[in-house]
Amino acid sequence: MGHEKSCIISHFSHYCSLTDEEKQLLINLEESPTEIKSGTLLWEVGDTANEFCTLKSGWAYSYRHLENGDRQILEVFLPGDIIGLSEFAFSQRLESVRMIEDGVICHFPHKRMLEIFRQSLPLTSVMFAISSRQQALLTERLITLARRSARQKMAHFLYEMFLRLRQTNPDISNQFRLPLSQEQLADVLGLSPVHVSRTFTALSDDGLVFRDRHHLTIPDLQALSDEGEFDNCYLNDNVRPLLGDAV
């Protein structure tokens, strides 16, 4: 597979410039790809945590089930993301992970991460940056669930998805695909599916976002950002200034 087709290289290149050797290290993480069908459970809470996986294509999500059967989706993973970083220090899985749509994943054991740590300071720094960003995403999601209105929750989440997709696809327009069902959106935002539908209708009536099944059109990105009171500081990287392009 060519470097230009690698989502994980696009992801890491957002943080700092990579040498050919570092790109090859990342390509090695995408060896032995496995095709996974929509709805497939990658692992569940309590399973042994001894590997990560890279999401080469497709979308996935992590979640926890409550005792009453309710589900809270914790994070949505996009192509190029590494899944399982938060469990590096644990022997068991802390959350379940399931595919949203058909995709391709590549498993790699924890020891492969240690090889990267030994061979590349820039990649090590980016790994820590990605782990920090995932924590920041969860923190922002907590604030959204606890303190934002339904309109703010939806506007904030949709604008966040746009920014994250743009990270690996700089040419993305204000029209993009969001392959989440109404039920999945409800479980991300802490709303009921009916409330999700009503919120989409209200945002559409105000000309902020239009949805056609899994395709979204955002006429005015800044207006949607303002509606969600979006502050993108938690999505900004700080590795590039530290490492510089000469590393």
Measured from the Cβ of residue 166, the count of other Cβ atoms closer than 10 Å reads 15
Asked if the structure places residue 240 within a domain, the reply is no
Residues 163 and 100 in one domain: no
Q: Greater confidence, 124 or 224? A: 224
Asked if the structure places residue 245 within a domain, the reply is no
Average pLDDT (45-63) is 93
Residues 193 and 117 in one domain: no
Model confidence band, residue 13 (pLDDT cutoffs 50, 70, 90):
confident
* Burial tier of 46 (Cβ tally within 10 Å: 0-12, 13-18, 19+): exposed
Which CATH number does the domain housing residue 183 bear? Answer: 1.10.10.10
**Residue 128 pLDDT:** 85
Asked if the structure places residue 117 within a domain, the reply is yes
The four Cα atoms 167, 170, 176, 180 give a dihedral, to 10 degrees, of -20
Asked if the structure places residue 233 within a domain, the reply is no
Report the chain's mean pLDDT, rounded to a whole number: 89
Residues 10 and 101 in one domain: yes
Residue 122 belongs to domain spanning? 3-142
Residues 13 and 78 in one domain: yes
Model confidence band, residue 49 (pLDDT cutoffs 50, 70, 90):
very high
Q: Give the pLDDT confidence of 84-118 residue by residue, as tens digits.
A: 988 988 999 999 999 999 999 988 888 888 888 88
Residues 120 and 7 in one domain: yes
Q: What pTM was estimated for this model as a whole?
A: 0.87
Residues 117 and 189 in one domain: no
**Residue 1 pLDDT:** 46
Q: pLDDT exceeding 90 applies to what percent of the chain?
A: 55
Considering its fold, how many domains does the chain have in total?
A: 2
**Residue 247 pLDDT:** 43
Q: Give the pLDDT confidence of 114-169 residue by residue, as tens digits.
A: 888 889 988 888 888 888 888 888 999 999 999 999 999 999 999 999 999 998 88
Asked if the structure places residue 210 within a domain, the reply is yes
**Which of these ranges, 160-169, 195-204, 214-223, has the smallest mean pLDDT?**
160-169
Which CATH number does the domain housing residue 74 bear? Answer: 2.60.120.10
Residues 89 and 129 in one domain: yes
The pLDDT of residue 202 is above 80: yes
Asked if the structure places residue 28 within a domain, the reply is yes
The pLDDT of residue 3 is above 60: no
The pLDDT of residue 14 is above 80: no
Asked if the structure places residue 203 within a domain, the reply is yes
The pLDDT of residue 197 is above 70: yes
Average pLDDT (23-40) is 87
Residues 110 and 178 in one domain: no
**Which of these ranges, 14-18, 65-69, 163-167, 226-230, has the smallest mean pLDDT?**
14-18
Residues 41 and 91 in one domain: yes
Average pLDDT (172-181) is 94
Residues 112 and 167 in one domain: no
Residues 66 and 126 in one domain: yes
Decide which of 142, 160, 186 is a domain's last residue. Answer: 142
Residues 106 and 221 in one domain: no
Asked if the structure places residue 102 within a domain, the reply is yes
